[in-house]
Amino acid sequence: MAQPLNFVLSVPETPEDHGQEPSPYDESEVHDSFHQLIEEQSRWVGAGALGWCEAGAAPDCPPRPAGRSRGAILSQYYNRTVRLRRRVSRPEVRGVGRSARPSLRLYDLELDPAALEEEEKRFLLVKELQGLTVAQQDHMLRGMPLGLAEKRCLRSESRTLTGKRRGRQGRHGLLPCCGQLRDACVLALHSLGLWLLSGLPALMPWRYALKRIGGQFGSSVLSYFLFLKTLLAFNVLLLLPLLAFIVGVQAAFPPASPGSVPTFTGLELLTGGGRFTHTVLYYGYYSNSTLNQPCAPPLEGDQCGREANGLPYSMPLAYLFTVGVAFFITCITLVYSMSRSFGESFRVGSASGVHAITVFCSWDHKVTQRRASRLQHDSIRTHLKELLADWQLRQGSRSACGRLRQVAVLGFVWLLCVGTTLGCTVAVYAFSELMIKSPTSAEQEGALLALPVVVCLLNLGAPYLYRGLAALERHDSPVLEVYVAICRNLILKMAILGILCYHWLGRRVGTLKDQCWENFVGQELYRLMVLDFIFVLLDTLFGELLWRLISEKKLKRREKPEFDIAGNVLELIYGQTLTWLGVLFAPLLPAVQIMKLLLVFYVKKTSLMANCRAPRRPWLASHMSTVFISLLCFPSFLGAAVFLCYAVWQVKPSSVCGPFRTLDTMYEAGKVWVRRLEKAGPRVSWVPWVHRYLVENTFPVYLVSALLLAVIYLNIQVVKGQRRVICLLKEQISNEGEDKIFLINKLHSIYERKERR
Amino acid sequence: MTLGDPRSFCDLAPQLVPLDYTSCPDVKVPYELIGSMPELKDNPFRQRIAQVFSEDGDGHMTLDNFLDMFSVMSEMAPRDLKAYYAFKIYDFNNDGYICAWDLEQTVTKLTRGELSAEEVSLVCEKVLDEADGDHDGRLSLEDFQNMILRAPDFLSTFHIRI
């Protein structure tokens, strides 16, 4: 794509007056570095130091100004500010000198042969900054590579001048004291903000603990604990509307008690039944009538002594809507954080630059302990050696026999893993059928723990088997190993959860016809969560502590076990899936999950500090956190949402308990309400209209899906286009480099000829 | 960190020289104290970091330089700003480009001198192959920034927690 340049370089007679002739680069926008290069060359020729420094002979290079000069930085940011401002409004012509052409003054200060003083450049930058909004000013200033003191001065200058200008142009008729009051308020808010900001580190939980973990183990292990913090935030977000609109209200208006209340034995904490059955914890406690209703005569001995002027609160409607809205908010938050995470870690058109990235980005500056720092040196050295060895191996030809052998081993291991998953699934199914066939009486509450124990044991044992099998296959990249391990574990957990969901909604609904099956499902999920926590504790104890003791005492190895990041993260995702599955049947389950996460944090942190070491191979921490959050969204949240939708739309609620006991499906509560609104009058008639034409009708659903597909297709095409543009731009850069070298050589030869003359 | 009152940042490094910063803001802390801070003492690039952020390039920092350093290395600093300073840190001879000699210094510091000379030069060669866009044998700031864009981990590794 390089075109031969055929203009004649007009070499001036004396090297100093290069500015008087109209050279080609004055009028058009030329590559910055090319211009700088020519300037440097002419400066060196003038000073008598001829010769181009070869790359690599750094000590022989003539000294250049340290880095980029402040003037260059100011000019660069002036240009950026101008471009930004021009996006917003047309540029002011007032500030431009009459003699100068607008294209020169407003486009690029650096090309101006009159080389403005630094003070003037700074003044122009401040003027441009005033044209931006305050937020844009701050954003621009934050990105400037100048000292903090300088930035402070620039900011105060651009703010005061902006304020004065706005004051001049602004309200004429208002009293001056309003302006003073406004300023005082702004100052007070500002100092309040600063005070809050200084107190914020104290409010943020676990700041010191996270710093210690990062300092000792690096970013990869830290990503697990940050993910735990994220999950905690999600659960709090889920719990608040449930507490406010369902649990709180029902606790204020408790329904009539069903008779004798069983005494509290310790087993309730594990099984969730017994004393806990008729509490706000489960679905069955919630009434199906309108609470706080003004007394109407024909009511079957219901609460009639309340104030007649309270707000009537329909519990079934509130239950349905609150759960729906809470899920919707969680969905939006998840998708938003996933898209932000993707935006950070995946780039369009990024080829692999693994050596450069290892050299420049792999040193984790957070690590502050000596031992951990030494470990980092070792791991980077090992990684570089592995990369070099890999490259040399790839230089040599890979035999077809070796490749075939590797494919065969891979296929065999995958077959074994899928077989194990199938075996576990069938085992869970058979056991659940067995539990149905042999129903437990009220005294044998402990026997209800059998199915959760089996599920937890399988969830604990199978990953160890997978790890053992993975030792057979040899992957080229450690990242691929981790992805494959995550994939296998995920398939296992989702398969088991799928079988359990079928067991609850498909079989238990039928067998528990005259009882409260929703309570049973809620209790099963509670049991699964509690036992999962207990098994996590046991796993930490045996997997990490005992293993370290054994390996130190018996095997005489001083190596601590590695902290298994992928396995632990999948555990967290599994626990969160259980919470989301159970929210409809046990509204306080997020509170249980919050307590569990808090305890898991401290247990894991203690065990980590005492027993483990960081993973030996370097770990792409930010890619991993993107993977974690997308796994949380796709199989986990989506599965729970599908389960919820099926339970709300298709399953008949039990007739003896809960807020939907008289209806055919839970969704009917909404339909009943809409019908009541229709009869209510013309003022709210838009709600039934919306319901009839947008929700019940299938056409809008098809339309929205088609629109979404169209948007996705367009985005894919845009990304493809961007990739092509990036390729073309890269070619252009490399061609310009070649042009540069060609022109420099030409300059060389011209000056040499001049010297010889 | 915000561009706020300097008094509120004195508690960041209380173990540093306990002077009254409000009255004499021109005090320079010698490099030896900076280099022995717990956040920096095991960092192989601590000398370069101190040199880049100090006023005269000798490693002795005033309070403003100190604030600059931690501001750039904090979580809130934008990626371009971090890339700019990272480039200056890796540019050992301060010539505005990362040439092969700078790369050799970086790799040696990174591996504590435990790679052989041949391996080091091979690594430098591959880095230049991958990152040098205009093929002039050294990395300019634009090449470096372009390469940083492809490294999502940069923001989390080029970060010192205080």
Query: In a mutagenesis test of the B interface, which of A360, A369, A728, A732 is the best target, namely the one with the most B β-carbons within 10 Å?
Result: A360
CA distance B125 to B145: 19
Question: Long-range contact list for A7-15, CB < 8 A, 24+ apart?
Answer: A9/A746, A9/A747, A9/A750, A11/A750, A11/A751, A11/A754, A15/A42, A15/A45, A15/A46
Q: Tell me which chain B residues have a C-beta less than 8 angstroms from the C-beta of A363.
A: 43-45, 110, 157
**Contact at 8 Å (CB) between B158 and B73?**
yes
Which of B81, B127, B152 faces A359 most closely, judged by CB atoms?
Answer: B127
* Residues A599, A603, A606, A612, CA torsion sign: negative
pLDDT category of residue A136 using cuts at 50, 70 and 90: confident
User: How is A419-465 classified by DSSP, letter by letter?
Assistant: HHHHHHHHHHHHHHHHHHHS---TT-GGGGGHHHHHHHHHHHHHHHH
Same domain for B65 and B108, yes or no, is: no
Same domain for B111 and B67, yes or no, is: no
Q: Tell me which chain B residues have a C-beta less than 8 angstroms from the C-beta of A344.
A: 152, 155
Q: At what angle do helices A565-582 and A621-631 cross, to 10 degrees?
A: 20
Confidence check: pLDDT of A113 > 80: no
Question: Which 3 state secondary structure label does DSSP give B29?
Answer: strand
What range defines the domain where residue A271 resides? 217-256+266-290+313-394+402-664
Interval A565-592 mean pLDDT: 92
Q: Is B16 within the bounds of a domain? A: yes
CA distance B148 to A353: 10
Same domain for B96 and B156, yes or no, is: yes
Domain count, chain B: 2
Same domain for B61 and B83, yes or no, is: no
The count of CB pairs under 8 A between chains A and B is 198
Q: Is B11 within the bounds of a domain? A: yes
Q: Is B1 within the bounds of a domain? A: no
Q: Is B142 within the bounds of a domain? A: yes
**Judged by CB atoms within 8 Å, which residues 131-160 of B form the interface with A?**
131, 133-138, 140-141, 144, 147-160
How far is C-alpha B161 from the chain's CA centre?
14
DSSP character at residue A60: G
CA distance A535 to A745: 72
pTM: 0.72
Render pLDDT for A359-373 as a digit per residue (tens, 0 to 9): 888 888 888 888 888
Nearest to B66 by CA among B22, B34, B19: B34
Interval B58-77 mean pLDDT: 86
Residue in this structure with the two tokens 């009539």, named with its chain if needed: A256
Interval A396-406 mean pLDDT: 75
CA distance A464 to A470: 10
Which ipTM was obtained for this model?
Answer: 0.87
pLDDT category of residue A200 using cuts at 50, 70 and 90: low
pLDDT category of residue A592 using cuts at 50, 70 and 90: very high
Q: Tell me which chain B residues have a C-beta less than 8 angstroms from the C-beta of A392.
A: none
Render pLDDT for A26-65 as a digit per residue (tens, 0 to 9): 434 444 545 565 566 556 554 443 333 333 333 333 333 3
pLDDT category of residue A9 using cuts at 50, 70 and 90: very low
Q: Residue type for A589, please?
A: L
CB contact under 8 A, A368 and B42: yes
Q: Is B98 within the bounds of a domain? A: yes
Same domain for B55 and B94, yes or no, is: no
Q: Which of B77, B106, B138 lies at the terminal end of a domain, its last residue?
A: B77
CB contact under 8 A, B65 and A147: yes
Q: What is the pLDDT of residue A682?
A: 75
Instruction: Determine contact: B85 vs chain A, CB below 8 A.
Output: yes
Q: What is the pLDDT of residue B21?
A: 53
Instruction: Determine contact: B2 vs chain A, CB below 8 A.
Output: yes
Query: In a mutagenesis test of the A interface, which of B62, B139, B150 is the best target, namely the one with the most A β-carbons within 10 Å?
Result: B150
Portion of chain A with pLDDT greater than 70, in percent? 76
Q: Residue type for B137, please?
A: G
B57-95 in b/e form (b: 16+ CB < 10 A) is eebbbbbbbbbbbbbbbeeebebebbbbbbbbbbbbbbb
Instruction: For residue B29, list its beta bridge partners.
Output: B61
Confidence check: pLDDT of A435 > 60: yes
CB contact under 8 A, A730 and B133: yes
CB contact under 8 A, B111 and A377: yes
* Residues A469, A474, A475, A478, CA torsion sign: positive
Interval A461-465 mean pLDDT: 88
**Judged by CB atoms within 8 Å, which residues 39-58 of A form the interface with B?**
54-58
C-alpha dihedral, B35 to B40 to B41 to B45, nearest 10°: -80
Q: What is the pLDDT of residue A439?
A: 73
Tell me the CA end-to-end span of chain A in Å, nearest whole number: 37
Q: Is A487 within the bounds of a domain? A: yes
Residue in this structure with the two tokens 């979580």, named with its chain if needed: B75
Question: Which chain B residue has its CA at the smallest distance from A372's CA?
Answer: B42
Q: Tell me which chain A residues have a C-beta less than 8 angstroms from the C-beta of B135.
A: 734, 737-738
**Contact at 8 Å (CB) between A660 and A666?**
yes
Interval A675-686 mean pLDDT: 78
Same domain for B94 and B157, yes or no, is: yes
**How far B73 CA sits from the closest chain A CA (Å)?**
9
Render pLDDT for A598-616 as a digit per residue (tens, 0 to 9): 999 999 999 888 877 766 6
CA distance A288 to A485: 47
Portion of chain A with pLDDT greater than 90, in percent? 23
Nearest to B98 by CA among B152, B46, B136, B44: B136
pLDDT category of residue A529 using cuts at 50, 70 and 90: very high
Same domain for B97 and B131, yes or no, is: yes
CB contact under 8 A, A55 and B107: no
CB contact under 8 A, A388 and B144: no
Question: Which chain B residue has its CA at the smallest distance from A351's CA?
Answer: B150
Pick from A300-304, A420-424, A575-579, A602-606: least confident: A300-304
| Cα–Cα distances in angstroms (integers) from residue A204 to residues A180, A198, A328, A494, A593, in the given order | 36, 11, 27, 34, 20
**How far B135 CA sits from the closest chain A CA (Å)?**
6
Q: Which of B51, B77, B103 lies at the terminal end of a domain, its last residue?
A: B77
Interval A668-695 mean pLDDT: 80
**Contact at 8 Å (CB) between A585 and A525?**
yes
Instruction: Determine contact: A343 vs chain B, CB below 8 A.
Output: no
**How far B36 CA sits from the closest chain A CA (Å)?**
11
Tell me the CA end-to-end span of chain B in Å, nearest whole number: 11
CA distance B140 to B144: 6
Same domain for B70 and B111, yes or no, is: no
SS3 assignment for A527-551: HHHHHHHHHHHHHHHHHHHHHHHHH
**How far A144 CA sits from the closest chain B CA (Å)?**
7
Instruction: For residue A314, list its beta bridge partners.
Output: A290
Tokens of B100: 């092969």
A29-59 in b/e form (b: 16+ CB < 10 A) is eeeebbbebbeebbebbeeeeeeeeebeebe
Beta-carbon count within 10 A of A713 CB: 10
**Contact at 8 Å (CB) between A216 and A369?**
yes
**How far B60 CA sits from the closest chain A CA (Å)?**
15
Instruction: Determine contact: B116 vs chain A, CB below 8 A.
Output: no
Confidence check: pLDDT of A748 > 70: yes
Q: Is A447 within the bounds of a domain? A: yes
Instruction: Determine contact: A148 vs chain B, CB below 8 A.
Output: yes
Q: Which residue did the predictor score with more confidence, A313 or A622?
A: A313
Q: Is A99 within the bounds of a domain? A: no
Q: What is the pLDDT of residue B16?
A: 53
**Contact at 8 Å (CB) between B38 and A368?**
yes
Q: Is A334 within the bounds of a domain? A: yes
> Which of left, alpha, beta for A272 (phi over 0: left; psi -120 to 50: alpha)?
left
**Contact at 8 Å (CB) between B87 and B75?**
no
Q: Tell me which chain A residues have a C-beta less than 8 angstroms from the C-beta of B38.
A: 368
Render pLDDT for A558-569 as a digit per residue (tens, 0 to 9): 677 778 887 888
C-alpha dihedral, A673 to A677 to A680 to A686, nearest 10°: 170
Helices (H), ranges, A89-143: 102-107, 118-130, 134-142
Q: What is the pLDDT of residue A427?
A: 93
Q: Which residues, including other chains, have CB under 8 Å from residue A605's CB and lie 6 or more apart?
A: A209, A213, A225
Q: What is the pLDDT of residue A102?
A: 38
Render pLDDT for A205-233 as a digit per residue (tens, 0 to 9): 688 888 788 777 877 788 889 899 999 99
Interval B42-54 mean pLDDT: 90
CB contact under 8 A, B151 and A219: no
Q: What is the pLDDT of residue A198?
A: 66
Same domain for B35 and B92, yes or no, is: no
Domain count, chain A: 1
Q: Residue type for A297, please?
A: P
CB contact under 8 A, B156 and A214: no
What range defines the domain where residue B103 resides? 79-161
Q: Could you tell me the CATH number of the domain that includes residue B70?
A: 1.10.238.10
Mean pLDDT, rounded, of chain A: 77
Q: Is B53 within the bounds of a domain? A: yes
Render pLDDT for B116-158 as a digit per residue (tens, 0 to 9): 899 999 999 999 988 888 888 889 888 898 888 778 778 888 8
CB contact under 8 A, A357 and B150: yes
**How far B145 CA sits from the closest chain A CA (Å)?**
11
CA distance A749 to A744: 9
**Contact at 8 Å (CB) between A454 and A431?**
yes
Instruction: Determine contact: A723 vs chain B, CB below 8 A.
Output: no
Question: Which chain B residue has its CA at the smallest distance from A346's CA?
Answer: B152
Residue in this structure with the two tokens 């990869």, named with its chain if needed: A220
DSSP character at residue A14: S
Q: Which residues, including other chains, have CB under 8 Å from residue A238's CB and lie 6 or more apart?
A: A326, A329, A330, A579, A583, A590
**How far B122 CA sits from the closest chain A CA (Å)?**
8
> Which of left, alpha, beta for B98 (phi over 0: left; psi -120 to 50: alpha)?
beta
**Contact at 8 Å (CB) between A96 and A105?**
yes
CB contact under 8 A, A360 and B100: no
Q: Which of B53, B77, B101 lies at the terminal end of a domain, its last residue?
A: B77
CA angle A333, A338, A340 (to 5 degrees): 95
Q: What is the pLDDT of residue A750?
A: 92
Instruction: Determine contact: B22 vs chain A, CB below 8 A.
Output: no
**How far B77 CA sits from the closest chain A CA (Å)?**
7
Question: Which chain B residue has its CA at the smallest distance from A359's CA?
Answer: B107
| Cα–Cα distances in angstroms (integers) from residue A194 to residues A200, A693, B70, in the given order | 10, 52, 18
Q: Which residue did the predictor score with more confidence, A151 or A444?
A: A151
Which of A354, A385, A737 faces B134 most closely, judged by CB atoms?
Answer: A737
Same domain for B110 and B65, yes or no, is: no
**Judged by CB atoms within 8 Å, which residues 38-67 of B form the interface with A?**
38-39, 41-45, 57, 64-65, 67
CA angle A615, A620, A625 (to 5 degrees): 100
Same domain for B92 and B128, yes or no, is: yes
Which of A148, A345, A730 faces B68 most closely, judged by CB atoms?
Answer: A148
Interval A114-118 mean pLDDT: 63
